[in-house]
Amino acid sequence: MQKINKELIILVALEDELPKSLLPEFHIEYIGVGKINASYRTFEIIEKYVPKTIINFGTAGSLNKNINGLNEVTIFKQRDMDASGLGFDLGETPFDNLSTIKFNENGLSCGTGDSFVSEKPKVLTDLVDMEAYAIAKICLIKNVNFKCYKYISDNADKDAVNNWQENVNKGSLAFVEKLKLIYEK
């Protein structure tokens, strides 16, 4: 049996998105759905294992029907932060300079919020999910390398729930192939 590398940890919201049996040589942690679960578990995992790199994999809705399959995400925003009553832009966290997190300009953008998107959100990004911004922010604060890959499960429209349920487990094989290309020795 091959030893699991604890310097690289894969964070996934749900086991349905990536069963551990598909990548037995990698350390996979399930963090639950939503920004609070993602923040808490990411912090806890960093404190316990002190990884050099965290990869977030999961499903996402696409706001552009031309974006499909597995995609790298490098720009993260909060799509449900609304302090507009205080004069802040939608998606901007008051008194926080990390409203938009960029790890690279070459990937897609993702708007994270604590709601499943079934209609066009007000904060526009390429993709929408429920965890990536929170993980990215904790990794940035804790100085941990961060990579994010999202598999498009739906188009964040009226059919999103049915499409997500049908596609939630389809991205795992594409992600496994991507990891083999990156980390094969």
Give how many domains the chain has, as a whole number. Answer: 1
Side chain identity at 117, as an amino acid letter?
A: V
Q: Which residues of the chain have pLDDT under 50?
A: 1
SS (HEC) of 79-117:
CCCCCHHHCCCCCCCCCCCCCEEECCCCCEEEEECCCCC
**Residue 94's domain spans which residues?**
5-183
- DSSP structure string for 117-160: -SS--SS--SEEESSHHHHHHHHHHTT-EEEEEEEEEE-SSTTH
- Given this model, what pLDDT does residue 1 score? 40
Q: How far apart are CA 61 and CA 155, in angstroms?
A: 5
Q: How far apart are CA 141 and CA 155, in angstroms?
A: 31
SS3 16: helix
- Given this model, what pLDDT does residue 119 score? 87
pTM of the model: 0.93
CATH number at residue 17: 3.40.50.1580
* DSSP tag of 54: E
